[in-house]
Structure 1
């Protein structure tokens, strides 16, 4: 198993499809190799950006098995858990360990909007069922559940809960977490458009979206920032921003697949109910992507 230290750049990898809707494993491999070559620190499979909502359980485990064989320990492989019931989430975590996952990302229960007590109990049940390290996904914008510092206070004694994907879009929440828990939880910024700022206030790294299309620029920006060269990091960040804004839209999968397709490391194909872009929206997004590619900065 690869060492997982929850620092650095972790792509929420796309799941490319063929035109007939089947998973395109060859393109998945091509994108994954591009990520590894760029220097990412791990990958997250079957997350929100990875089409978790339209993958069945067998497909998620098939992706995990394929990724493990492809990567062969070069970087950690983290599998996302997005289940409706506690029983299913526990069984999913157990199976993920059997198939060789290095870690887990854990969302609150899907569909049912659980209250704080129910969410904490759900997280604890999964945490107690596995010895894999767990990244809690805190995204109230998309999933209507805010994992508060009081809730993390109840989770801090679970040794397998070690990190949080901070997607509240409130940078001050990183400071609250640091003030209350110190280094108890690793924090990964989960919103591309405030990624650089998140490092400044204490994040250990990122779970990133546009890295799926632009791995070299993403890793270079991170490395410049952690090495204290914010002038170079800002140069990349300012160029990147129109592209990063593709990550904060309900159609982020369509948008980022188009960007990665333009770079030759994805396909544009979708599973319904998502549909391809048309008309003005398609023209606008493709222009943002083309402008970004045409003006990309020199990396050094």
Structure 2
């Protein structure tokens, strides 16, 4: 299969709640339209940014359903199906296939420290459950497991493995996975703080949790890379990093800050689910300054 459809800027989709903190169909659809109209290339649905580990099976299926019914066939959709048990992951994988998703992805198993044989079996059982291509998700800072080259090679023998979402901080990992994967293998840059360096060292695309707060900037960064304008690419990355640092500077989860920024843009998708903390008190006023940072950067780079 061609992997061209998996290239570009893929925001990690946020959980959308109503005022009671339940998954909201209408707000999920609204966020879909908002991001689609910005010109994104695809979405990564029900991953870390979607607060997936705090959702039960039916809630995750609901989010997958609402996004697919809104954007299926318009952009590339990747369903993250990693769950606490293999059984739940397989259920989600089969459901995503029914909904028409373009590919699956999953973090490695969490909580228990498992040998690589168990991690291999977990990913393989997910892949065997459907005919969809599969994207490995390497995020050692949250899962406690760093994908080894040996396991990567073993997994890549499965024809369904078409890529890896690499969220480890060393850009060397991106270069190594790309070198091992080859031209017809997609490597997604994970850390938003290194989008440009990740692209230059071998990443074909990006999936990120802050893209939704400033899709215009990441789309422009991608444009600079593609055109070879590396001076401007470096400048926009510095401004993006200033914004990311600000997003992480307040009390409360970064995702709650992003959701407050979106509210100022007219997109209300609620706050976050505990134990993630919402933005409160004086920090709510500081969100306005962060939005202004984003608006200033967009004005600077996006003509």
Normalised to the residue count of structure 1, the TM-score between the two structures is: 0.90
Distance 1:57 1:33, change over 3 A: same
Normalised to the residue count of structure 2, the TM-score between the two structures is: 0.89
Alignment partner for residue 256 of structure 1, among 250, 255, 258? 258
Tell me if the contact between 1:106 and 1:135 (Cα under 8 Å) persists in the aligned partners.
yes
Matches within 5 A, 1:179-258: 179-183=179-183, 185-245=185-245, 251-258=253-260
Alpha-carbon distance in structure 2 between the residues aligned to 1:228 and 1:78:
28
Q: Which runs of 5+ in 1 are unaligned?
A: none
SS in 1 for 2:135: strand
State whether structure 2 residue 137 is matched by structure 1 residue 134: no
How many pairs does the alignment contain? 299
Alignment partner for residue 299 of structure 1, among 277, 298, 302? 302
Q: Cα offset for 1:190?
A: 0.6
SS in 2 for 1:16: coil
Q: Cα offset for 1:262?
A: 2.5
Deviation string for 1:41-97 (max 9, x for gaps)? 111111111111222211222222222221141012221112122232223212221
Distance 1:64 1:55, change over 3 A: same
RMSD: 2.4
Q: Which moved more, 1:273-282 or 1:22-31?
A: 273-282
Tell me if the contact between 1:9 and 1:205 (Cα under 8 Å) persists in the aligned partners.
yes
Tell me if the contact between 1:189 and 1:205 (Cα under 8 Å) persists in the aligned partners.
yes
Q: Which runs of 5+ in 2 are unaligned?
A: none
Alignment partner for residue 275 of structure 2, among 273, 276, 281? 273
Alpha-carbon distance in structure 1 between the residues aligned to 2:183 and 2:152:
13
Alpha-carbon distance in structure 1 between the residues aligned to 2:237 and 2:42:
21
State whether structure 2 residue 146 is matched by structure 1 residue 143: no
SS in 2 for 1:82: coil
Q: Which moved more, 1:155-164 or 1:210-219?
A: 210-219
SS in 1 for 2:242: helix
Distance 1:144 1:279, change over 3 A: same
Tell me if the contact between 1:192 and 1:245 (Cα under 8 Å) persists in the aligned partners.
no
Matches within 5 A, 1:26-45: 26-45=26-45
Q: Cα offset for 1:233?
A: 2.7
Alpha-carbon distance in structure 2 between the residues aligned to 1:4 and 1:192:
21
